[in-house]
Copies of this chain bind each other. A is one copy, B any other.
């Protein structure tokens, strides 16, 4: 009872190291240099603090509440990601709170500021927009918070989980071209989405590898909602001549909006129009017809994010940032066929 419980923050500040490093010393991780270890141990001795009290305080410092800030809760990729995150973190006694920003940069900034006052144990953030300052994220990282970004952030070092969008969309484009499609719409995400930028890159590379021209009017930006996808598709199918024979969609939600527009106009999938989605959310397999799509494995991605958080909290990794990548794969179902002879370019 005589000894005072010290916080890991005090030790970290006094020894001039990060909190993750203090945690690593206490857990006897091998990557810690002898010098750093001595510095931390020395400080503890000086102050007559007991290691077991500090070990207790570790669990207090690293709260097991994790805040998740994502864009659009109506996108099944996000709900499957959150489900996966909660499944993996829940098993280890964590509590996951989520907030969605509706893809608004301002909401994201406010959300992280609000969450900061709760002293959470970690953050998982899907940054809403590229090209806007990331000070609100950098601030948390600089404060030593455990933060995992969904998708790497240009010019900012952070833990991240992502997947190879470029290659995935290049392969999907190639798949369509091999089946005779040349007028392929790339229904891409918002101008500010880094995912959209990568996927457009893959689409363009796919066309170029077959020496096909790039028609900019076929790259159409839509936000992440059924309504926007639906409106854009109706317009394209009504106005573009010759009519495009295939749609490469930003995600499965957008692919569903293409289905909706095509059904309404009496355009058959895949007889008159081929469609490829992105993500392979649970619903993809049960659309009529089942959707050919690029699987991005949101639950596996979530498992990586959970493991990064747990490893860092347990001092189980060397300092520096961790990036984990999944490899998307095209799942062939029934929404792609050869274009009708009359439509072939």
Residues of A within 8 A of B (CB): 65, 67, 73-74, 76, 79-80, 82-83, 86, 90, 95-100, 102, 107, 110-111, 114, 118, 226, 256-257, 259-260, 263, 282-283, 285-290
With known contacts A282-B226, A287-B287, A98–B95 Cβ distance under 8 A: no
Cβ A282 vs Cβ B74 within 8 A: yes
Write the chain B residue with the least CB distance to A72. B83
Give this chain's copy count. Answer: 2
Q: What is the bound-complex CA distance between A260 and B107, given in angstroms?
A: 37
CA distance A195 to B153 in the complex (A): 44
A-B contact pairs, 10 of them (CB 8 A): A67-B97, A73-B83, A95-B114, A96-B99, A256-B283, A256-B286, A257-B286, A260-B286, A263-B286, A283-B283
| Pick from B111, B114, B287: contact of A288, CB under 8 Å | B287
Q: Select from chain B the residue with minimum beta-carbon distance to A75.
A: B79
CB closest residue in chain B, given A114: B95
Closest-by-CB residue of B relative to A110 is B95
Considering the chains assembled together, what is the distance between the CA atoms of A107 and B86 in angstroms?
Answer: 11
- Docked-complex contact B74 and A80, CB < 8 angstroms: yes
Instruction: Please indicate the chain B residues that have their CB under 8 angstroms from the CB of A114 in the complex.
Output: 65, 95
Q: Which residue from B95, B111, B226, B287 sits with its C-beta under 8 Å from A99?
A: B95
> Are B286 and A259 neighbours in the complex by a CB distance under 8 Å?
yes
Q: Which A-B residue pairs are the 3 nearest by beta carbons?
A: A288-B288, A260-B286, A97-B97
- In chain B, what residue has the closest Cβ to A97? B97
Beyond the given A83-B102, A260-B285, A287-B288, could you list 18 further A-B residue pairs with CB under 8 A, ordered by the A residue number?
A65-B114, A73-B73, A74-B79, A74-B80, A74-B83, A83-B100, A86-B102, A90-B107, A95-B114, A96-B99, A97-B97, A97-B98, A98-B98, A226-B282, A259-B286, A260-B286, A283-B283, A288-B288
A290 to B82, CA, bound (A): 28
- Give min CB distance, A256 to chain B, whole Å: 5
Kindly list chain B residues whose C-beta atoms are within 8 Å of the C-beta of A257.
286
In the complex, which residue of chain B has the Cβ closest to the Cβ of A65?
A: B114
Separation in Å of the A295 CB from the closest CB of chain B? 16
Query: Is B95 a contact of A111 with CB atoms below 8 Å?
Result: yes
* Bound: A99/B96 CA distance, A: 6
Residue of B nearest to A119 (CB): B118
- With CB as the reference atom, state the residue of chain B lying closest to A115: B97
Bound Cα distance A256, B95 (Å) = 30
State whether A263 and B282 are in contact (beta carbons under 8 Å apart), knowing that A98-B99, A110-B95 are contacts in the complex: no
A235 CB → nearest B CB, Å: 17
A334 to B99 CA separation, bound complex (whole angstroms): 36
Cα-based distance from A257 to B285 in the complex (angstroms): 10
* Most interface-central of A79, A90, A110, A118 (chain B CB within 10 A): A79
B-side contacts of A287, CB under 8 Å: 286-288
A118–B118 alpha-carbon span in the complex (Å): 7
Q: Decide if B111 touches A86 in the complex (CB within 8 Å).
A: no
Question: How long is the Cα–Cα vector from A83 to B74 in the complex, in angstroms?
Answer: 8
Query: In the complex, which residues of chain B have a beta carbon less than 8 angstroms from the beta carbon of A107?
Result: 90
In the assembled complex, the Cα of A282 lies from the Cα of B256 at a distance in Å of 10
Cβ of A250 to closest chain B Cβ, rounded Å: 16
- Minimum C-beta distance from A23 to chain B (A): 22
> Least Cβ distance of A218 to chain B in Å?
23
